[in-house]
């Protein structure tokens, strides 16, 4: 019986991996330029971390988490997102006592049980950044500017930044009361999920994907119109900071994001590509209460996450040219046992020096080895046989131009490094 990959997962084959490597290397370079350091957290965590931090009424916690009991009966969950794990690591490892702010980035697989569709998987990869320890809006600007620079370097020039503020614990209660009054008068027509969210976090209803709910709630009061003076000042500072860096933005009062831990700033980068118009590429925001909610000291935070699969789809739809695949620098075609020994020694020395070198392992003919070298995309080839060993020199061929040059064997290694 053939065993297939589980639904919602995918094999990332060697021919595809270079695209990921390229995108990942670009954003890592950008993060390093901004002074961010990598953090790696476990693939699974105690379930309470996500239910407490993300909110029990969120779709992720209610419907999409891969949760199970381990052999000791403890409830654990495959991570559905990265921020909660980073915050847990920050608390558990006493990182609040280190230099402030802590500027961190992560990359790895996440897991959500959701409907499988183009660009959406149950195991997917995310890249994210977090700043912990800064309450001011300049941290929000920096997080957004990382993404803006990343997209620019990738060649994604038609992306639309949209920003909003959803308030803080000081102004949210009054807004939630106003929102409950509006939603309560229309509760009968809403879906079961929205009726559940109505009591615990009415703002979650505004993020419902059901078309019926969207129409019913179209005239709901919006958070940006009801934020306190401190949140308004923060939002003005955010706008000013983005303008200082010439980062274009639009105010979108309907953005609420899908997780409960967000406060004040929320944002999304939307695609202007006709093939994915109105679709979010990535998003993020501020979460000033999450660290204390998870048992740590009061610590403001702001961050983003970007899905790698969604990003690669966007690169494809824009027709962005990625760098050519890495090539084998030289392929040595050996004929005879003495030649194979010599070739193996040269190949090993070249590899130790950081060059990509290869040779045949299957005792193929010279013609077959030539074809194999061509399939590998070798930049240079050279045949080593009895004649070459006797002469003490061999001919190196440039596979792109067809030009050749003779090199004494005693100089071969120095010639190629």
In CATH, what number is assigned to the domain containing residue 62?
A: 3.30.930.10
pTM of the model: 0.88
Per the CB < 8 A criterion, the answer to whether 331 and 172 are in contact is no
Q: How far apart are alpha carbons 195 and 49 in whole angstroms? A: 25
Same domain assignment for residues 275 and 372: no
Q: Flag whether 8 is in a domain.
A: no
Same domain assignment for residues 297 and 157: yes
Same domain assignment for residues 309 and 392: no
Q: Flag whether 34 is in a domain.
A: yes
- For residue 183, the model assigns a pLDDT of 87
Same domain assignment for residues 143 and 238: yes
Which ranges in 34-114 belong to alpha helices (H)?
47-54, 59, 83-92
- For residue 196, the model assigns a pLDDT of 78
Per the CB < 8 A criterion, the answer to whether 106 and 207 are in contact is no
Same domain assignment for residues 266 and 343: no
In sequence order, the 6+-apart residues with CB closer than 8 A to the CB of 62 are 56, 193
Q: Flag whether 217 is in a domain.
A: no
Q: Flag whether 189 is in a domain.
A: no
Same domain assignment for residues 96 and 117: yes
Q: Which helix (H) or strand (E) holds 303?
A: strand 301-307
Mean pLDDT by 10-residue block, N- to C-terminus, for the chain (417 residues)? 90 88 94 97 95 74 88 95 96 95 97 84 95 97 97 90 94 90 85 80 81 87 93 97 97 83 93 66 93 94 95 85 83 92 92 93 93 92 90 91 89 78
Which ranges in 55-170 belong to alpha helices (H)?
59, 83-92, 137-154
Is the preceding peptide bond at 101 cis, omega within 30 degrees of 0?
yes
Which strand ranges, in their side-by-side order, compose the sheet holding 44-46? 44-46, 75-78, 66-69
Q: Which of 190, 235, 231, 240 is nearest to 213 (CA)?
A: 190
Distances (CA, A) of 297 to 49, 96, 304: 16, 8, 21
Which residues does residue 95 pair with via DSSP β-bridges, in sequence order? none
Same domain assignment for residues 152 and 88: yes
- For residue 51, the model assigns a pLDDT of 87
- For residue 25, the model assigns a pLDDT of 94
CA torsion angle 28 29 32 33 (round to 10): -140
Domain tally, the chain: 2
Token look-up 């070198």 returns: 357
Same domain assignment for residues 68 and 138: yes
Q: Flag whether 177 is in a domain.
A: no
Same domain assignment for residues 18 and 145: yes
Same domain assignment for residues 408 and 282: no
CATH number, domain with residue 376? 3.40.50.800
Q: Which of 147, 157, 164, 163 is nearest to 272 (CA)?
A: 157
Q: Pick the last residue of a domain from 318, 338, 368.
A: 318
In sequence order, the 6+-apart residues with CB closer than 8 A to the CB of 162 are 249, 250, 251, 252, 255, 267, 268, 269, 270
Q: Flag whether 138 is in a domain.
A: yes
Burial (CB count <10 Å: 0-12, 13-18, 19+), residue 249: middle
Q: Flag whether 209 is in a domain.
A: no
Same domain assignment for residues 367 and 271: no
- Residue 375 structural domain: 330-416
Same domain assignment for residues 59 and 139: yes
Structure tokens at 150: 């990343």
Q: Pick the last residue of a domain from 276, 296, 318.
A: 318
Q: Flag whether 311 is in a domain.
A: yes
Which long-range contacts does 279-286 make (Cβ < 8 Å, 24+ apart)?
281/156, 281/159, 281/306, 281/310, 281/311, 281/314, 282/147, 282/306, 282/307, 282/310, 282/311, 283/255, 283/257, 284/128, 284/143, 285/166, 285/257, 286/140, 286/262
């Amino acid at each position: 019986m053939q065993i297939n990959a589980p639904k919602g997962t995918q094999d990332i084959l060697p021919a595809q991996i270079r695209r990921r490597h390229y995108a990942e290397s670009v954003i890592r370079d950008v993060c390093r330029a901004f002074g961010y350091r990598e953090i790696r957290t476990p693939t699974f965590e105690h379930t309470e971390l996500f239910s407490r931090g993300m909110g029990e009424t969120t779709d992720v916690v209610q419907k999409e988490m891969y949760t199970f009991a381990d052999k000791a009966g403890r409830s654990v969950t495959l991570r559905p997102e990265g921020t909660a794990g980073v915050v847990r690591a920050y608390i558990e490892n006493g990182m609040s006592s280190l230099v402030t702010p802590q500027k961190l980035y992560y990359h790895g697989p996440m897991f959500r049980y959701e409907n499988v569709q183009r660009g959406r998987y149950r195991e997917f990869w995310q890249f994210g950044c977090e700043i912990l320890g800064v309450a001011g809006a300049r941290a929000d600007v920096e997080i957004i500017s990382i993404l803006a620079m990343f997209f620019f370097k990738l060649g994604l020039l038609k992306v639309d930044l949209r920003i909003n503020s959803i308030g803080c614990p000081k102004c949210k209660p009054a807004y939630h009361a106003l929102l409950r009054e509006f939603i309560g008068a229309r509760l009968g027509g809403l879906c079961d999920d929205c009726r559940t969210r109505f009591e615990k976090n009415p703002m979650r209803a505004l993020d419902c994907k059901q078309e019926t709910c969207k129409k019913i709630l179209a005239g709901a009061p919006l958070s940006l119109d009801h934020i306190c003076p401190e949140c308004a000042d923060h939002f003005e500072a955010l706008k000013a900071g983005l303008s200082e860096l010439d980062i274009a933005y639009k105010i979108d009062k309907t953005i609420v994001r899908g997780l409960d831990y967000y406060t004040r700033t929320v944002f999304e980068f939307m695609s202007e590509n006709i093939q994915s118009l109105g679709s979010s590429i990535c998003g993020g925001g501020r979460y000033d209460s999450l660290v204390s909610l998870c048992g740590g000291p009061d610590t403001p935070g702001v961050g983003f996450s970007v899905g790698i699969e969604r990003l690669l789809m966007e690169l494809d739809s824009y027709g962005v040219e990625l760098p050519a695949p890495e090539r084998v620098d030289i392929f040595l075609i050996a004929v005879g046992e003495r030649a194979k020994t010599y070739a193996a020694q040269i190949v090993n020395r070249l590899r130790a020096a950081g060059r990509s070198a290869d040779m045949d392992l299957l005792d193929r003919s010279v013609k077959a080895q030539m074809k194999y070298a061509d399939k590998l995309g070798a930049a240079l080839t050279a045949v080593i046989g009895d004649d070459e060993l006797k002469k003490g020199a061999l001919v190196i061929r440039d596979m792109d131009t067809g030009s050749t040059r003779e090199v004494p064997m005693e100089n071969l290694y120095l010639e190629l490094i």
